[in-house]
């Protein structure tokens, strides 16, 4: 990560763009979908990095800066939308006592107070729930809404009527309009009981709905179209503030909250008015110490300036008040024993180590698994089965190991496998990468579905009627156990298939006809369909332009493997020279000169065909199909020798067909516009590539003009 002090403006702008997209993505997952994929601590780290860069480069602050956005927009939802009369703001965060002291100092500077002036604050626990606003008119509840993006939320009025903590009518004399804001939550004990009930009621316990944590349970229960579902869930509510009001019952934050409690709406029992930063921090430490014993989950303590006239003077920044701050707790940690390390193989072949723990409770959740990320992370931590480890959990994510307490014990290191635990193929990490991947591809059961889906996809063999559902069905029946060659043997199961649900004689015959039509597939499509890493559709064509016959690939891959074994880096040879030497050797072996054929492609071919299982799969496949020689016949045309870019939606042909036409006319089809581009063919919806072409003065034509060029070439 680049130090901010040494950043150029371009680097800062690029990182701010990346952070804005990342933070928006995680905001949507957390606020709109109730399914976060990173911890609170990791999210806060992204925000802090963004804030630091913005502070150093204020002229680069973006319109979509995370500091200008609250929550996430309400998108597709069965609930009606509600526009908040007063925006529901977020809070800035503090992570240390120094941050809190600086908050108080900022308040003094803004209000021009003396350094010794008392700044009274309220302090209360920050509940990890779902923000909700309750609108009372003449004391009666008329509307309830979630926060949404702060401006527009969801109408949950019918649902909150079933929450016992929320009165339908306020006690005593309340203002004509008063919006009470707080958190809908689920107590820890109620959460445990709910999951147990859902498990007991399920016909199939393995498929029972189970909530990950109390916040998810609360959010999922409140945002229901059917209010009876909400009524069946044990939800609670605690108030922490207000929105639109016609009048205030007091002149301080603490006294207004006391009034809200008198009206019958619960507030935090830990709410205090404190006169100094020292007292505030002492209360923080007290709450942190009691955190595990509280009946509900919290993730920090919120401080607010007590005097409402000061709050009004302090006002707001883009998405948060200047008069409040959330002092977050550090990620929760616990000690336990790492009992085993299992290696899981993903659908793309990535080997991921997962630690199996002696179960331990962290943040109210029983944890028995922990991600170890990759081979390098295991080496960094030095973890082995039997080690005592410190784990950390913050948010709804798989925990991580932060410290190995017994790494100095004299025991053998964990040996990361060099073969796939599923198919026993070689497992390798490419140069410069940390991930180890299985080279088994289509013969690996962990990858088979995804690989077969790719093999029949539109860009590869394009077998109509053989979609994801059918592939999954045939795999389950054991009809595709040997890999893609079995696709061409499916007709042996015709009678069995006719007896299955959804398969009639016509659909079966159509499927088999589509398969038979691919017995002599385009060689480049066949190569692309194998799913060899780094060999995309364009690279496959570039390879075969030089080789011509796809059948020679195993031999060429063996030559590359032999070259790598016999030609290591020489003493004193620079990285650049070593790389250049290998690139030239690979291109000579593969008989190609295309820019896209380099080290990654050559090594991927070597790894794939060096694996005996893959060679067997290849031989089996060629026993069923007969790809013709790959010969690119080019015709003289006005675009011969040009570099062409296709952009926008093509209406009369696919993008692959357009690129093939360009190559047949002696042109090169590129994916991006540059100074080397000679022609751009733009369809409807063309965007940045069209603008770039215009800026560079590159000729632009439409699809009809391109069709004329193709026709004129004969």
Dist CA 470 CA 547 (whole Å): 35
Sign of the Cα pseudo-torsion (507, 508, 511, 513, in order): negative
> Is residue 63 within 8 Å of residue 23, measured between CB atoms?
no
> Is residue 123 within 8 Å of residue 129, measured between CB atoms?
no
Dist CA 659 CA 119 (whole Å): 69
DSSP line for 133-185: EEEEETTEEEEEEE-TTSSEEEB-HHHHTT-TTS-SB-SS---SEEEEEEEEE
Q: Phi, psi (5° rounding) for residue 687?
A: -120, -110
Q: How far is CA 565 from the centre of its chain?
A: 39
> 3-state SS of 67-94?
HHCCCCCCCCCCCCEEECCCCCCCCCEE
Dist CA 398 CA 346 (whole Å): 16
Taking alpha carbons only, the member of 370, 66, 29, 47 closest to residue 216 is: 29
Mapped onto helix, strand or coil, the DSSP state of residue 531 is: coil
DSSP state of 426: B
Pairing assessment for the beta strands 130-137 and 177-185 based on DSSP bridges: antiparallel
Dist CA 444 CA 457 (whole Å): 19
How many helices (H) and strands (E) would you count in the chain? Answer: 24, 22
Sequence-ordered list of residues with C-beta below 8 angstroms from that of 150, at least 6 positions apart, any chain: 69, 70, 71, 84, 87, 88, 89, 90, 319
Q: How far is CA 641 from the centre of its chain?
A: 42
Q: Phi, psi (5° rounding) for residue 670?
A: -110, 160
Dist CA 355 CA 360 (whole Å): 13
Q: State the catalytic residues.
A: 126
Dist CA 161 CA 630 (whole Å): 70
Give the Cβ contact number of residue 631 at 10 Å. Answer: 10
Dist CA 506 CA 494 (whole Å): 12
Q: Where are the beta strands (DSSP E) in 234-373?
A: 236-245, 272-274, 298-305, 324-328, 332-345, 351-362, 365-371
498-501 long-range contacts, CB within 8 A, separation 24+: 500/473
């Amino acid at each position: 990560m680049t130090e901010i002090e040494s950043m150029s403006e371009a680097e800062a702008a690029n990182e701010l763009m990346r952070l804005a997209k990342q933070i928006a993505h995680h905001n949507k997952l957390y606020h709109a979908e109730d399914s976060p994929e990173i911890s609170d601590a990791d999210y806060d780290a992204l925000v802090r990095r963004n804030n630091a860069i913005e502070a150093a480069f204020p002229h680069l602050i973006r319109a979509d800066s995370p500091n200008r956005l609250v929550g996430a927009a309400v998108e597709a939802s069965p609930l009606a939308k509600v526009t908040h009369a007063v925006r529901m703001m977020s809070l800035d965060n503090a992570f240390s006592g120094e941050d809190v002291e600086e908050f108080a100092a900022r308040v003094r500077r803004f209000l021009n107070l003396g350094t010794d002036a008392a700044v009274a604050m309220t302090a209360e626990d920050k509940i990890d729930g779902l923000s909700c606003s309750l609108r009372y008119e003449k004391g009666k509840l008329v509307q309830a809404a979630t926060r949404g993006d702060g401006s527009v939320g969801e109408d949950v009025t019918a649902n909150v009527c079933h929450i016992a903590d929320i009165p339908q009518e306020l006690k005593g004399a309340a203002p004509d309009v008063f919006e009470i804001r707080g958190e809908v939550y689920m107590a820890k004990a109620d959460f445990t009981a709910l999951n147990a009930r859902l498990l007991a009621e399920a016909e199939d316990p393995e498929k029972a709905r189970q909530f990950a944590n109390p916040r998810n349970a609360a959010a999922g229960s409140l945002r229901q179209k059917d209010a009876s579902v909400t009524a069946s869930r044990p939800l609670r509510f605690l108030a922490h503030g207000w929105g639109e009001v016609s009048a205030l019952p007091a002149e301080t934050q603490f006294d207004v909250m006391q009034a809200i409690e008198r009206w019958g709406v619960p507030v935090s029992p830990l709410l205090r008015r404190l006169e100094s930063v020292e007292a505030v921090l002492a209360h923080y430490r007290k709450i942190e110490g009691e955190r595990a014993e509280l009946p509900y989950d919290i993730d920090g303590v919120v401080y607010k300036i007590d005097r409402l006239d000061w709050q009004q003077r302090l006002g707001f920044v883009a998405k948060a008040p200047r008069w409040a701050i959330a002092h977050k707790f550090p990620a929760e940690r616990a000690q336990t024993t790492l009992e085993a390390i299992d290696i899981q193989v993903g659908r793309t072949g990535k080997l991921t180590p997962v630690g199996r723990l002696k179960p331990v409770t962290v943040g109210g959740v029983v944890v028995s698994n922990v991600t170890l990320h990759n081979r390098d992370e295991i080496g960094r931590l030095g973890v082995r089965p039997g080690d005592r480890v410190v784990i950390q959990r913050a948010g709804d994510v798989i925990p991580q190991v932060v410290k190995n307490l017994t790494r100095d014990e004299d025991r053998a290191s964990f040996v990361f496998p060099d073969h796939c635990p599923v198919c026993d193929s070689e497992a390798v990490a490419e140069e410069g990468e940390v991930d180890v991947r299985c080279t088994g591809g289509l013969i690996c059961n962990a990858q088979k579905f995804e690989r077969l889906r790719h093999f029949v996809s539109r860009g590869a063999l394009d077998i109509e009627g053989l979609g994801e559902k059918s592939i999954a069905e045939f795999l389950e029946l054991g009809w595709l156990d040997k890999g893609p060659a079995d696709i061409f043997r499916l007709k042996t199961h015709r009678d069995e298939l006719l007896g299955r649900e959804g398969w009639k004689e016509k659909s079966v015959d159509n499927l088999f006809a589509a398969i038979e039509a691919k017995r002599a597939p385009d060689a480049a499509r066949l190569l692309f369909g194998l799913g060899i890493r780094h060999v995309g559709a364009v690279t496959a064509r570039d390879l075969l332009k030089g080789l011509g016959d796809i059948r020679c690939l195993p031999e060429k891959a063996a030559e590359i493997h032999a070259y790598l074994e016999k030609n290591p880096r020489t003493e004193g040879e620079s990285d650049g020279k070593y790389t250049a030497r290998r690139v030239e050797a690979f291109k000579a072996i593969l008989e190609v000169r295309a820019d896209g054929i380099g080290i990654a492609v050559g090594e991927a071919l070597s790894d794939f065909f060096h694996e005996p299982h893959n060679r067997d799969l290849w031989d089996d496949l060629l026993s069923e199909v007969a790809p013709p020689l790959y010969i690119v016949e080019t015709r003289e045309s006005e675009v011969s020798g040009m570099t062409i870019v296709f952009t926008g939606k093509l209406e009369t042909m696919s993008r692959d067909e357009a690129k093939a036409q360009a190559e047949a006319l002696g042109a090169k089809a590129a994916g991006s516009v540059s100074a080397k581009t000679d022609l751009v063919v733009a369809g409807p919806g063309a965007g940045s590539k069209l603008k770039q072409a215009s800026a560079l003065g590159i000729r632009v034509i439409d699809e009809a003009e391109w069709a004329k060029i193709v026709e004129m070439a004969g």
